[in-house]
Amino acid sequence: MNAEQVVPGELAVIRGAFAGGGGGRCALGWGGVRAFEAEHGVVLPEPYRTVVAEIADGSSAGPPEYGLMGLAEVPGDRGGGRAERELSRAFPLTSQWLWEEDGEVPPDAVFDHGSVVLGTEGCGMYWHLVVTGPHRGHVWLITGKGATPFGAGFGYTTAEPGFAGWVGHWAAGKPWFDLG
């Protein structure tokens, strides 16, 4: 995983995954991406940054189940009373946390700091791409029960970590967490 530079092979996999159209929205262009980054005080990790600038700013044809959300979108069921998203503040986790098992309530920071929402699997299960902090470039599944990092190094899947690994795993038709 390289969150700083585009790896041509990874970008080819991503282009292939979105090649069928599938309701992809127009890319933002580099000016749009830079404006978003300046407004939020972040630099998006690659290859997601290039995807949003050159390929599409969201797509109704996954990944995930209900499609890739646009860069500036937030879930409709986000709920009132929560603080505004602060992308420039570090994403607070570096390992899986199942707060339902711990009997704890996660801080809003898990949902709202340092990540953009990639999309939903439904039922309150959201994929996030970490844009700030130690896990920058990694994809996480955040649900009402807990948060789990995606990628082979974390022990729940055979997929490569990061956005390209996440898209490639989906494009190959594999279950998200394919290790028992």
Q: Is 53 left (phi over 0), alpha (psi -120 to 50) or beta?
A: alpha
How much is the pTM? 0.92
Give the list of residues 6+ apart from residue 160 with CB closer than 8 angstroms, or none: 1, 151, 152, 168, 169
pLDDT in tens, the chain (180 residues): 889 999 888 988 888 888 765 566 789 999 999 999 999 999 999 999 999 999 989 988 778 888 899 998 877 654 544 557 899 999 999 999 998 888 888 888 898 899 999 999 988 899 999 999 999 999 999 998 999 999 999 988 999 999 999 999 999 999 888 876
Residues 46 and 4 sit within 8 Å (Cβ to Cβ): yes
